[in-house]
Structure 1
Amino acid sequence: MARFKPRIAVRALILHQDRLLLVNAYPDAHLGLWCAPGGGCEAGQSLPENLAREVMEETGLTVAVGAPVLVNEFHDPDTGFHQIDLFFRCTIAGGEIDDAWQDPEGVVTDRRFFSRAELAGIRFKPDSLPEAAWGDGAALYDSLEAILK
């Protein structure tokens, strides 16, 4: 099995009217898994610049990037894939969720705000997402977990 260098990604925790914005984790909502918007970092851009770009691509929203609140790692033991996600609190600075919006990469096809109670009825990752989104702001570390397929 090949071992890859860990991929670094950034994710946005966007609360609006006490609801958390999530997007489908796989193209065409494969697996029915939800995650915070964001994606892989490009060299030469800061983490906040990468995050603002990814959120715009996936949601059409402009965000103000705040403090980091969660570091999460996941991997695929079968392939050696390993990703480190850095979650930041963000606020909406412009735009709105529009059903006509299309992710240029075609990964995100669904985006929706969920209340904390509604999260109990969906599949999402990482498991510590509610604590990070609605928590006291202290940074969390969610240790290495196997990727869901």
Structure 2
Amino acid sequence: MTEPAPPRHPQLAVSAAIFRDGEIMLVRRARSPAKGVYTLPGGRVEFGESLHDAVAREVMEETGLTIAIIGLAGWREVLPASHGGKGGGGHYLILPFAARWRAGEPTLNDELDDVQWRVPDALDGLTLTDGLPDIIAAAKALL
């Protein structure tokens, strides 16, 4: 079976910089194109879904956590490799939100294979998505 062709337009996605007790939660992707890379939990916004609903749903689906959304912490664009980007075939506009942990302990789905709570200034040794330290700093400033 052949894989479907990637969409011919950008996909809208959200993520959450979740803080608890002075630490931020990072998750490691278990699948390509970002396999082995630590990032923020998140995913695509569904048609008709608000951004806040999307980020809360994606965090719940990926980690089992309930969060309180604080505000928008910036944006990131991932371009397909054919247009100079490092990503696979997709073009994504990602809107990261600052959030506070409310309830639950991380329970990962099949998209993730590790979770770590880290002090935002102690991310050395981890392979991170491009621009993640800047997004974390912007999110922390909103708390």
TM category (shorter chain) comes to 0.7 to 0.9
SS at match of 2:81: coil
Matching residue within 22, 29, 39 for 2:26: 22
- The number of residues matched between the two structures is 130
Could you tell me which runs of 5 or more consecutive residues in structure 2 were left unpaired when the two chains were aligned.
83-87
Structure 1 residues 56, 3: CA separation in 2 closer, same or farther (over 3 Å shift)? closer
Residue of structure 2 in register with 1:6 after alignment = 10
RMSD (Å), alpha carbons? 2.3
Residue of structure 2 in register with 1:124 after alignment = 128
CA–CA separation in structure 2 for the residues paired with 1:57 and 1:32: 19
Could you tell me which runs of 5 or more consecutive residues in structure 1 were left unpaired when the two chains were aligned.
138-149
Residue of structure 1 in register with 2:49 after alignment = 45
CA–CA separation in structure 1 for the residues paired with 2:7 and 2:54: 25
Mapped pair 1:82 → 2:91: yes
Structure 1 residues 102, 119: CA separation in 2 closer, same or farther (over 3 Å shift)? closer
Structure 1 residues 3, 69: CA separation in 2 closer, same or farther (over 3 Å shift)? same
**Greater percentage in strand:** 1
1:102 CA displacement: 4.1
Structure 1 residues 2, 18: CA separation in 2 closer, same or farther (over 3 Å shift)? closer
Matching residue within 92, 101, 104 for 2:101: 92
Mapped pair 1:110 → 2:114: yes
Residue of structure 2 in register with 1:65 after alignment = 69
| TM-score in terms of structure 1 length | 0.76
SS at match of 2:59: helix
CA–CA separation in structure 1 for the residues paired with 2:93 and 2:115: 22
CA–CA separation in structure 2 for the residues paired with 1:42 and 1:125: 23
Residue of structure 1 in register with 2:85 after alignment = none
| TM-score in terms of structure 2 length | 0.79
Q: Report if the CA contact (8 A) 2:77-2:92 is conserved.
A: yes
Output one character per residue of 1:34-54: Cα deviation in whole Å (capped at 9) or x when no partner.
110010110111000011010
Mapped pair 1:133 → 2:142: no
The amino acid across from 2:137 in the alignment is W
1:61 CA displacement: 0.2
1:16 CA displacement: 1.5
